[in-house]
Structure 1
């Protein structure tokens, strides 16, 4: 388990599109550069001054690259500090400036913006510097623990911010995916249903044009009505996508609208709708889901049920649940063993999102049945 975690850390990529520099970076440099110069001039224990000032300025300038080149910034800053501390051991009798406290920002930046392998390598360099600098200046165990604790806390803070930022990005991506899936379901269920009805009516009108012109004219009127409904629903969905339009203002068909399905598919197959029980207290989302599932089931029956003459829709109150059953009397489906299309997937998704179940398949005595069971109320958070 530990080995897998280390492997995952090593393979972790950099976060995408880090900001190059922000005003805080420039403000920090604008404060630290004069601070380093003034401290070099004022303090008597800083020697040799040019070397100490150079070390501080290198560290300060490295902060400008802490997001885009986090490992490079750590390597330059802590490499300079290691070289300075080694020189203090070997040849220089002096101390550093307090402005080098800015290096505390670099472990944060390393774990916030660096790749996994960069974080591991950079942390190793930081720990090496801590060991060297604590060897130069005699310290007690409490100070040693505090020194390591400060830098590890900075790294942990960077890791935490990175995790929360990544989680937020993933949440946004999931929300966008849910919206795309919802729009795809609405387009498929609404437009697909009406267009299928239009195509069937057009075929019937063409067959009746020569022998029964009056019935063909009535068929054209039905096509016009279906096309108008399709256009209205398309406009409503497009309006929801516009800026400033609230999705809750979009029209939501319910159980009462299922009866209209009987008039939207023409003469054959004939559609019977039966509503039983108390269906007035359904949650609006449940009512919309029932209508869309019934609509898609009828569309599938019209498209795929061979020789079907009747489709029965039954919505029944079952206490805390509501059951929708759509059954046709057609022959065996030629696509019965094929992979489920968008329609079946969309119906199953609608039921699952509301905590319900959906079963769709052939009947033993012929025909096809869609059976959905949904809770009458939906939990809100």
Structure 2
């Protein structure tokens, strides 16, 4: 078991989406260099001033690559400190060499488990411990001070590993939500296509029965089969490329649509006043889009009841345009505790993106929370779907 854990750690890849160099990196570099300059000018107790300044500047510059090259930056930083420790043993300056700005090395220690692969974390950890061991051997501090120094050095690494674990866990939860939404959408589309195919079979059977006695009726039945076939092909193009697990817990009820919203919003569990407005052409929508509109309103109203403090009303507006359908849901409650989207909204974003649309949610301009979605009346022809805004 332990061997498997070690092998899993060694083969762990770097986390995806490692950010490049951003303005915070340059701000950190500027702050460290400013601190180096102030210490070099104002401190009188600096030993080997030029060496201390060069070392601190070196560590500050290395921080620019801490996310993209975590092992290399740690190796170069602690390699420099080990070299300096060896030199001080030979030259014996009498006092430790370095500036307070050299504490920027803790940022590199944090970045190693946060952004490094498993192999880099292991090798970098060896380098860090080697640097600490050389420091203890040359300075010979008391045992308690040595232990405190080790804890102080490794604490950023613990924080970095904790942040990485939290982010990874959250990403996996998001992925499960997206997978469930894809599965639900695929099930709804499957049921719709199955309905059309059943109608085609019935019409074909009727045409075969009357073909001999009434050819005109048979032609009419074939025309109906053609119409249903075209409609089926349209829905087939709307299917998402996801695997569907038709387990025992699959929902058998047909998906709700815009026509079911009035009944949904009058349900006994809806404790807020809901103002539902339907404008424009909302007929002949794709069943997937019709069901998506229903789900967006359902989730948004549910969130308002759960999280909108002091809310009294939810306003729902659905507008059918020639090429798209717009959905807006806003409440008048306080926004406390609603700074982050829940998994329900994540699923809705995924559904909107799969249909070729987008969904956004955030504080309203005046008060409360606002959810806006824009969906095409039918699936985009090119099969490429913009990602939902985050």
* TM-score normalised to structure 1 length: 0.59
- Cα offset for 1:24? 2.2
Matched with 2:295 is 247
The alignment status of 1:73 with 2:121, answered yes or no, reads no
- Cα offset for 1:220? 6.8
The alignment status of 1:211 with 2:222, answered yes or no, reads no
How many residues align structurally?
A: 247
- Cα offset for 1:64? 0.6
- Cα offset for 1:12? 0.6
Matched with 2:314 is none
Matched with 1:114 is 116
- Cα offset for 1:164? 1.2
Structure 1 residues 114, 201: closer, same or farther in 2, change over 3 A?
A: same
Matched with 1:201 is 203
The CA RMSD over aligned residues, in Å, is 2.8
Q: Distance in 1 between matches of 2:90 and 2:48?
A: 14
- The secondary structure found in structure 1 opposite 2:87 is helix
Matched with 2:145 is 143
The alignment status of 1:89 with 2:61, answered yes or no, reads no
Matched with 2:171 is 169
Q: Distance in 1 between matches of 2:129 and 2:183?
A: 49
Structure 1 residues 192, 147: closer, same or farther in 2, change over 3 A?
A: same
- Cα offset for 1:223? 5.8
- The secondary structure found in structure 2 opposite 1:72 is helix
- Cα offset for 1:239? 4.5
Matched with 1:368 is none
Q: Distance in 2 between matches of 1:92 and 1:196?
A: 91
Q: Distance in 2 between matches of 1:171 and 1:248?
A: 20
CA contact (8 A) 2:106 2:153 kept: yes
Q: Distance in 2 between matches of 1:17 and 1:225?
A: 47
Matched with 1:236 is 287
- Cα offset for 1:17? 2.2
* TM-score normalised to structure 2 length: 0.57
- Cα offset for 1:41? 2.3
Provide Cα deviations, 1:204-260, integer angstroms capped at 9, x if missing partner: 31552341357548857976997899787861313455xxx451558xxxxxxxxxx
Q: Distance in 2 between matches of 1:20 and 1:229?
A: 47
Q: Distance in 1 between matches of 2:192 and 2:295?
A: 17
Matched with 1:16 is 16
- Cα offset for 1:43? 2.0
CA contact (8 A) 1:67 1:113 kept: yes
Aligned positions of 1:22-37 closer than 5 A:
22-37=22-37
Matched with 1:45 is 45
Matched with 2:132 is 130
Gaps of 5+ in 2: 236-282, 299-390
CA contact (8 A) 2:89 2:138 kept: yes
Q: Among residues 178, 181, 185, which one is paired with 2:180 in the alignment?
A: 178
- Cα offset for 1:105? 1.4
Q: Distance in 1 between matches of 2:146 and 2:92?
A: 23
Provide Cα deviations, 1:119-159, integer angstroms capped at 9, x if missing partner: 01111111111111223334222211111112222111111
- The secondary structure found in structure 2 opposite 1:20 is coil
Q: Distance in 1 between matches of 2:3 and 2:62?
A: 33
Matched with 1:258 is none
Q: Distance in 2 between matches of 1:39 and 1:240?
A: 65
Matched with 1:191 is 193
CA contact (8 A) 1:190 1:233 kept: no
Provide Cα deviations, 1:178-226, integer angstroms capped at 9, x if missing partner: 1221122111122123223213413431552341357548857976997
Matched with 1:4 is 4
Structure 1 residues 22, 190: closer, same or farther in 2, change over 3 A?
A: same
Q: Distance in 2 between matches of 1:233 and 1:180?
A: 23
CA contact (8 A) 2:132 2:150 kept: yes
Aligned positions of 1:324-339 closer than 5 A:
none
Q: Distance in 2 between matches of 1:84 and 1:188?
A: 69
- The secondary structure found in structure 1 opposite 2:286 is helix
CA contact (8 A) 2:192 2:287 kept: no
Q: Distance in 2 between matches of 1:237 and 1:178?
A: 15
CA contact (8 A) 2:46 2:99 kept: yes
- The secondary structure found in structure 2 opposite 1:211 is coil
